[in-house]
Amino acid sequence: MRNLPYWRLSGFYFFYFAFVGAMAPFWGLYLQSLEFNAFQIGILMSLLQVMRIFAPNLWGWVSDRSGKRVAIVQIAVGLSLLSFIGVFFGTSFYWMFVVMSLMSFFWSASLPLVEATTFSHLGEKASRYGRIRLWGSVGFIVAVIGLGYLFDYVAIRWLLWAVLAIVTALLLFSRHIPEAEVLAHHTDHLPIWHIIRRPEVLAFIGGGILMAAAHGAYYTFYSIYLVDHGYAKSSVGLLWSIGVVCEIGIFLWMPRLLRRFSLRQVLLTTFVLAVLRFMMIGWGVGFVAVIMGAQLLHAATFGAYHSAAVQIVHRFFKGRHQSQGQALYNSLSFGVGGTLGGLYSGFTWDALGPEITFTIAAVCALVGFGLVAWKMRLEK
């Protein structure tokens, strides 16, 4: 990895996903402490995904034309921090809606641009992406285990200060990421729609939307589901961390895995394992071994899936379309899919129950498998 700014990129991923490790498992619990109902929690949590529908494409478009990816990342993280400070000044549903909307709009800009920057630095060694990205998983683990134990002893309101510290650290770290050269490609003169309209690209995006929707109930209600069934908050943190430890393993193993299997084969396998995982969570919450087994599958449903997906995006979108390609993947897969997942789980959690909600998640993954198997092909 000579000449690769390994630790500077890795450090950004560390703090970015430390934020996710604070928000995904515990923000729903904080909202629950404010006495919001399941539907209100679903709406507020979905805002983290809703803004991914619009914001990354706007920021990606500006980045590809200005060539200033890192500067835009720094601006976006700074405005995210400024917006988040609003949570200290009100707790009503409408106030939280406004604050989380603003924070999410700016927050969603940074990751696609850093992903594109990372692949530009890697060049032809894209399979080594996992060795950088794994530090994001380490950051997630540090946050989720540390805060999980902390909240067994202090009020959940301390989460606000923890998130504030993490985002401040991320802002400071973002100032040390170097810009990367964007190599010209023969498709640069074509509009991005020329790439998007290809059947294999549409199938990939559709599958990504369904995979993110399948994870909607998990990211919104998994911690609440476990706590309601008697799991301690420290145990919740450990269960989240089990999945992420396995995720680190798959990131390290991906270069070897991709020497034996194609990106398409890896992607299809992750959909099958997602079906199994969400059925295990929905119907096996009373059995610790089943829940632990489901968390081991996080290595596939997030780790292997995401690693394969971002490399597929890198293949589809070249040259000046790189930032927009990563932004499009994030906005449609995580934005549209994550929003649908948060909303349907908010509707069904109380009305139909957690078991049916996670069964719907499994069905989403199954349909995603069918779509990718039907239409997505990759050139060797």
Domain count, the chain: 1
Contacts of residue 348, Cβ cutoff 8 Å, sequence gap at least 6: 356, 357, 360
Give φ, ψ of 183 to 5 degrees: -75, 140
Residue 1 lies in a domain: no
pLDDT at 51: 82
pLDDT given for residue 106 in this prediction: 92
- State the pTM of this model: 0.77
- SS3 labels along the chain: CCCCCHHHHHHHHHHHHHHHHHHHHHHHHHHHHCCCCHHHHHHHHHHHHHHHHHHHHHHHHHHHHHCCHHHHHHHHHHHHHHHHHHHHHCCCHHHHHHHHHHHHHHHHHHHHHHHHHHHHHHCCCHHHHHHHHHHHHHHHHHHHHHHHHHCCCCCHHHHHHHHHHHHHHHHHHHCCCCCCCCCCCCCCCCCCHHHHCCHHHHHHHHHHHHHHHHCHHHHHHHHHHHHHCCCCHHHHHHHHHHHHHHHHHHHHHHHHHHHHCCHHHHHHHHHHHHHHHHHHHHHCCCCHHHHHHHHHCHHHHHHHHHHHHHHHHHHHCCHHHHHHHHHHHHHHHHHHHHHHHHHHHHHHHHHCCHHHHHHHHHHHHHHHHHHHHHHCCCCC
Q: How many whole angstroms separate alpha carbon 77 and alpha carbon 241?
A: 25
**Per residue of the chain (380 residues), what is the pLDDT tens digit?**
456 788 889 999 999 999 998 998 889 889 999 999 888 988 888 787 778 787 887 877 777 777 788 889 999 999 999 999 999 999 999 999 999 999 999 988 888 888 888 888 887 777 688 889 889 989 988 998 889 889 888 999 999 999 999 999 999 989 888 876 665 554 555 667 778 889 999 999 999 999 999 998 998 889 889 999 999 888 888 898 888 889 889 988 988 898 899 999 999 999 999 999 999 999 999 999 999 999 999 999 999 998 999 889 988 887 667 778 888 888 888 878 988 898 899 889 989 999 999 999 999 999 999 999 998 877 65
Quote the pLDDT of residue 182. Answer: 62
Q: For position 1, what pLDDT does the model report?
A: 47
For residue 200, the domain's CATH number is: 1.20.1250.20
The predicted structure's pLDDT at residue 122 = 82
Tell whether 281 is covered by a domain. yes
Please indicate, yes or no, if residue 380 is contained in any of the structural domains: no
- In a domain? residue 149: yes
Domain that holds residue 311: 6-375
